[in-house]
Structure 1
Amino acid sequence: MDVVAVFTAYHPDERLAAAVESALRSCSSVIVVDNTPRADSGAWPATAVDSRAPALAGERVKVVAHGRNVGLGAALNIAVCELPSAAEAVLFLDQDSELPPEIVPGLVADLADPDVGIAAPSPWDPKHQRYYCSEARRTETVSDEEAVITSGMLVRREVLEKVPFDEDMFLDWVDVAFCLAVRRAGWRILIDWRLRLPHEIGACEVHTRWGRTAHYSHYPAWRLYWIGRNVSILHRGHFASRPRALASSLVFLAERLTNTLLFEPRRRTHVPALLRGFRDGLRTRVDPRYLPAGAEHPAVRRRKG
């Protein structure tokens, strides 16, 4: 199976080059979509993808540097439009995801079943030496899942031609919305627990207060806004007919709110951002104050137009 790796970059560091080099050892080619916005002067910031770097300058690497931050969903759709005609599957990776050599052959084997649209490794937190998924979900081989995270998922080309990524959600929960749409279209989604992909989710730290211990990722306020907004969108558009999924996401939101109150030193700005996002999701609105600098969102562009 011809597999193309896709990276989305945003103010990348030296880890991107190492990640691209690791992907080239297992994939036929690599596409990098750079979401780092240009400065007003038109100059590239130092943290943009430099296609002159040795790891990014080869014939098997294509860099799409469009000079805007259009969000994760739009960047992934851009990458799909750039796929070579020979590509049969796409491996989506974060800019810091170095690929162990066994991942691609293992996931390709999982796609041998024509009913499987997405196969993914188990995400592993190397800093805290733990799986991101709960112990109760793990098996010795593979398991069917509602959704998997973007980094590491191998997706059939046919799936991508029928199911686009949601550009309105901008960043968080884009992978969940995509997976739910894939399942509705009739494909299975698997996690292969025999394959482990190191993955760091945000600035995650272990905190204990009042007898409660939690792994908490310290995000900026704008990121919490999108977490709250997109959970709300998932409730309204995807989970209304599935009580278990709805309950699971409400529990997630309650835990995020509780942990922000307990462990976030900037709670006076972060708690309102989370709650405002949830409210705006119910109203299908976007507050442009919670877009990162230089970012574009389709709803804001329509409003300006």
Structure 2
Amino acid sequence: MRIAAVATAYHPDDRLTAVVESALESCSTVIVVDNTPGAEPTVADKLTGLGGDGVEGRGRVKVLRPGANLGLAAALNLGIAELPEDAEAVLLLDQDSALPGEVVAALAGYLGDPTIGIAAPTPWDAAHDSSYDNLAALRAEVADRTDVITSGMLIRRDALERVGRFREDFFVDFVDIDFCLRLRRTGLRIVQDQRLKLPHSLGDRRPHRLGPVRVQVVHYPAWRLYWIARGAATLLRENLRRDPLWSLKAVLFLASWTWRTAAFEDGRAKHSAALLRGVRDGLLGRISLRHLPEGATYRAAR
């Protein structure tokens, strides 16, 4: 299977180089979309020389610099628009998530089944040597999933064409979940192999105690909480009748984020207000652009 990779970046460091070098082991082409605002050079600008010498190596890495932070969905859409015509699948990667060639090859093996549209590894917290999925022990090693995270997704090319573009109105969070929900509505499956690990960071993850209970909390800036809540509430509104079970999960997710923010966030008043505003806007089908991060540019969904 001929695979191309799309790697998204924002103020990347040398980990992006490792991601691209690793992707070149299994991918014919790697397209890097660097969302860093401005025209100042970044690590991404040095990557076009990777891929080897000679005709076969030339042009295997392409770097796109839109000059603004367009958000994850827009970056993915820009990269996918540059896929070579002969690519049969696309591997999506973050700037800190390197996948060895043997892992990508194992994922590609699942796409031999025409009912499978996405194959994914399991996100792994390397710092704590544990899965981010609290229910992982209850699932089979290879399981059908409702949704998986963007980084590490291996998507069949014809499935990508059936589902369409990533939703840019989500900006960052729930871009992956929305895409997975739409893919499953086409009748295709999503499988995840827990034996294949994707080293990945969800952000500032810290343990807290609430009486005898130990709680892991990911701390995000207030603007990010807005987009998390708006994405969850938007999909809740859109899928309430279509997929009641997933909608229940969305309600529990929002409830969990709300109480964790109120209980453990340092700037809990500001963060809680942003989160609740995101819930309101998602349920009402609205958007507040003042919650974009500094240097970001919003592109309307297409």
Query: Is the shorter-chain TM-score for this pair beyond 0.5, marking a shared fold?
Result: yes
Q: Matched residues in 1 for 2:69 and 2:82: separation? A: 18
Point out 4+ residue stretches in structure 1 off by more than 6 angstroms: none
Output one character per residue of 1:125-177: Cα deviation in whole Å (capped at 9) or x when no partner. Answer: 1111111221354213x111111100111001111112221111111010000
CA positional deviation for 1:241: 2.8
| CA deviation vs aligned residue, 1:263-303 (integer Å, no higher than 9, x gap) | 2111121010000011011122221210011212235x99x
- Confirm whether residue 98 of structure 1 aligns to residue 114 of structure 2: no
5 Å-filtered alignment, 1:141-220, equals 142-163=142-163, 164-220=165-221
Aligned equivalents of 1:52 and 1:150: distance in 2? 22
Contact 1:203 1:217 in 2 (8 A): yes
- CA-to-aligned-CA distance 1:233-260 (integer Å, 9 cap, x gap): 0101124332221111111111111111
Kindly report which structure 2 residues correspond to 1:247-266, keeping only aligned pairs within 5 A, or say none: 247-266=248-267
SS state at 1:50 partner: helix
Distance 2:162 2:243 in 1: 23
SS in 2 for 1:233: helix
Matched residue pairs, number? 295
2:55 is matched with: none
Tell me which amino acid in the other structure corresponds to 2:81.
C
Within 2, Cα distance between the matches of 1:259 and 1:186? 36
Per the alignment, residue 63 of structure 1 pairs with: 63
For the residues of structure 1 that align with 2:16 and 2:183, how far apart are their CA atoms? 28
1:194: Cα distance to partner? 2.3
Which position in structure 1 is the counterpart of 2:78? 78
Unaligned runs of 5+ in 2: 53-57
- 1:231 aligned onto 2:226: no
Q: Is the 8 A contact 2:25 2:100 kept in 1?
A: no
Q: Residue 119 of structure 1 aligns to a residue in which SS?
A: strand
Q: 1:69 to 1:56 in 2, by over 3 A?
A: farther
Measure, in 1, the Cα distance between the counterparts of 2:72 and 2:241: 25
CA distance in 2, matches of 1:48, 1:10: 10
Give the C-alpha shift of residue 210 in structure 1: 2.3
- 1:30-66 Cα distance to aligned partner (Å, 9 max, x none): 000111111xxxx42x556323675489621000111
Q: Name the residue aligned to 2:297.
A: 296
Q: Identity rate of aligned residues, in percent? A: 52
Give the counterpart letter for 1:203 in structure 2. D
Inter-partner Cα distance in structure 1 for 2:37 and 2:255:
33
Q: Structure 1, residues 203-230: CA drift from partner, whole Å, max 9, x if none?
A: 1112213233222111110000001101
RMSD of the alignment, in Å?
1.9
TM-score normalised to structure 1 length = 0.91
Q: Structure 1, residues 63-111: CA drift from partner, whole Å, max 9, x if none?
A: 0111121111111111111001111000101110111332111011111
Aligned position for 1:126: 126
CA change 1:48–1:226 in 2 (3 A) is farther
Instruction: Show structure 1 runs of 5+ residues with no match.
Output: none
Other structure's SS at 2:109 match? helix
